[in-house]
Structure 1
Amino acid sequence: MELWPASLAEITPDLYATEEVESEDKEVVAKFFALGSSLTWYVVEAQKLEFGDVLFFGYVHTGDWNSEWGYFTLKELEQQRYLGGIPRIERDLHFEKKRFGELDLEQ
């Protein structure tokens, strides 16, 4: 699975573009999740970096009080693998862009 297709990159604001937008009103454009855990990454902004990497800003939901807004990279997500090399991170193919305040983080 391609985690970050061009179709998502095209609709995602650049880093700092939503800096003045209240958290609840920021638009989440993509959702990544770790198989077998409650870790979920919600992408709000992105910037292509050198060597093909992408720096994201979004909400990292850990399933507990440690959840927070922050930065993460595409390479960090792609490098998370199970023994045997099976990718651990997937993109929710059914996720549709929505305001952060509309997310159900209790799932």
Structure 2
Amino acid sequence: MFRATCPETEEDMRELTTREIAEGLPRLYEQDGAEDPTVYVHYFSCVNGWDWWLLEFDGTDEAFGLVEGYDDELGYFSIKEMEELNRQMGFAAVERDEHFEPKSLSAVRGR
């Protein structure tokens, strides 16, 4: 049975940021003032069509980046809330783009 998009366990499904990823991310405000900051992680939802482009992370939950939803804006979002949503829905409503390579914010906005 083909299960490329289906995680093996509920724990796998909820893990949007691994320890390895979190340790390599700039902390909140580290890119503050950068002319063209780097985006490190891309999250997306095929349920609502939203995208989250992570620039900075507090190491446990709070992330800062570009949120493309009703409007496109830079702001804060909660990784734990995304994981909780996935757990409640019983499937990966929000997923991490495992093929995304870090790139500049201007490259993401210009795609």
Shorter chain as denominator, the TM-score bin is 0.7 to 0.9
Structure 1 pair 80–16 and aligned structure 2 pair: CA distance change class (3 A):
same
Structure 1 residue 37: Cα displacement: 2.7
- 2:22 is aligned to 9
Residue-by-residue CA offset, 1:18-45 (whole Å, 9 max, x unaligned): 11112xx110000001123320000000
Unaligned runs of 5+ in 1: none
Structure 1 pair 83–98 and aligned structure 2 pair: CA distance change class (3 A):
same
- 1:38 is aligned to 49
- 2:66 is aligned to 59
Question: Is the Cα contact below 8 Å between 1:60 and 1:67 reproduced in 2?
Answer: yes
Runs of 4+ in structure 1 displaced over 4 angstroms?
Answer: none
Structure 1 pair 58–67 and aligned structure 2 pair: CA distance change class (3 A):
same
Q: 1:22-101 to 2 correspondence within 5 Å?
A: 22=35, 25-48=36-59, 53-62=60-69, 66-81=71-86, 85-101=90-106
Question: Which amino acid in the other structure matches residue 85 of structure 2?
Answer: Q
Question: Which amino acid in the other structure matches residue 64 of structure 2?
Answer: F
User: What's the TM-score once normalised by structure 1's chain length?
Assistant: 0.80
SS at match of 1:103: helix
Structure 1 pair 81–11 and aligned structure 2 pair: CA distance change class (3 A):
closer
User: What's the TM-score once normalised by structure 2's chain length?
Assistant: 0.77
Alpha-carbon distance in 2 for matches of 1:79, 1:67: 23
Share of identical aligned residues, percent? Answer: 32
Structure 1 pair 17–84 and aligned structure 2 pair: CA distance change class (3 A):
closer
Q: How many residues are treated as equivalent by the alignment?
A: 98
Alpha-carbon distance in 2 for matches of 1:59, 1:75: 17
Question: Is the Cα contact below 8 Å between 1:46 and 1:57 reproduced in 2?
Answer: yes
